[in-house]
Structure 1
């Protein structure tokens, strides 16, 4: 879980137009990695 300052910082980034892809912390590590790599592959293709 993030501290209040961290969440404020991330929300500020979103307001400035950055897209943040949140990955559910309760997922197994293999699924977290799969989602992260999927997002990164999408960036490579753009």
Structure 2
């Protein structure tokens, strides 16, 4: 027979949510950093060609 599980507390839920948001934020910062680096590289190469 199926038994309902205990309810997850608000604080536990918020901790998990915050952890997920922090990971996403770190990934976003890395992506932006890489994009900036690539842009710098491309603009430098175009300057050298001219």
Same fold at TM > 0.5: no
Structure having the higher Rg: 2
TM-score bracket, normalised by the shorter chain, equals: 0.3 to 0.5
Q: What is the TM-score of this pair, normalised by structure 1?
A: 0.43
Which structure has the higher relative contact order (CA within 8 Å, separation 6+)?
1
